[in-house]
Amino acid sequence: MPWSVRWVGGGGGAQSQKQCKKSSFAFYQAVRDLLPVWFLEDMRTMEVFHWEDGGKVSLYSPSEALLYALVHDHQPYARHLLTKFPQSALAVPSQSFSCCQASAPHLAMAVRYNRVRVLFRILKAVQGFPPGDRAGHLDRRGCSRVEGGKTALHVACELVRPECLLLLLGHGASPCLPDGAGNTPLDTLLQQLSQAPAVNTRAKLLCLDCLFLFVPQDVPFAMKQQLLDNRQRWQDLLGESRYRCLVGLAPPSLFVGAMRVLIRTISPEHFPEALDDLPLPHFLKPLDLKLES
* Structural contact between residues 262 and 272, judged by C-beta atoms closer than 8 angstroms: no
Other beta carbons less than 10 A from residue 209's beta carbon: 16
Residue 57 β-bridge partners: 51
Q: Kindly report the average pLDDT of the chain as a whole number.
A: 86
Local confidence band at 52 (pLDDT 50, 70, 90 cut-offs): low
pLDDT tens digits, residue range 234-261?
A: 999 999 999 999 999 999 888 888 889 8
Question: What is the spatial distance between Cα 100 and Cα 144, in angstroms, rounded to a whole number?
Answer: 9
Name which of 70-74, 136-140, 187-191, 286-290 the model is least confident about: 286-290
Overall size of the chain counted in residues: 293
pLDDT of residue 137: 92
Local confidence band at 1 (pLDDT 50, 70, 90 cut-offs): very low
Task: Write phi, then psi, for 51 (nearest 5 degrees).
Answer: -100, 120
pLDDT tens digits, residue range 187-211?
A: 999 999 998 788 889 999 999 999 9
pLDDT tens digits, residue range 93-116?
A: 887 776 666 577 999 999 999 999
- Is the pLDDT at 230 greater than 80, yes or no? yes
Exposed / middle / buried, residue 273 (Cβ in 10 Å: 0-12, 13-18, 19+): middle
Task: Write phi, then psi, for 58 (nearest 5 degrees).
Answer: -145, 150
Amino acid at 31: V
Q: What is the mean pLDDT of residues 10-22?
A: 64
pLDDT of residue 55: 56
Residues in Cβ contact with 216 at an 8 Å cutoff, skipping those fewer than 6 apart: 176
| pLDDT top residue among 175 and 292 | 175
- Is the pLDDT at 2 greater than 60, yes or no? no
Task: Write phi, then psi, for 49 (nearest 5 degrees).
Answer: -125, 155
Omega cis (within 30) before 178: no
pLDDT of residue 72: 97
- Is the pLDDT at 11 greater than 60, yes or no? no
- pTM of this prediction exceeds 0.85: yes
pLDDT of residue 14: 64
Q: Distance between the two ends of the chain, CA-based, in angstroms?
A: 37
pLDDT of residue 273: 87
* Structural contact between residues 89 and 81, judged by C-beta atoms closer than 8 angstroms: yes
pLDDT of residue 241: 92
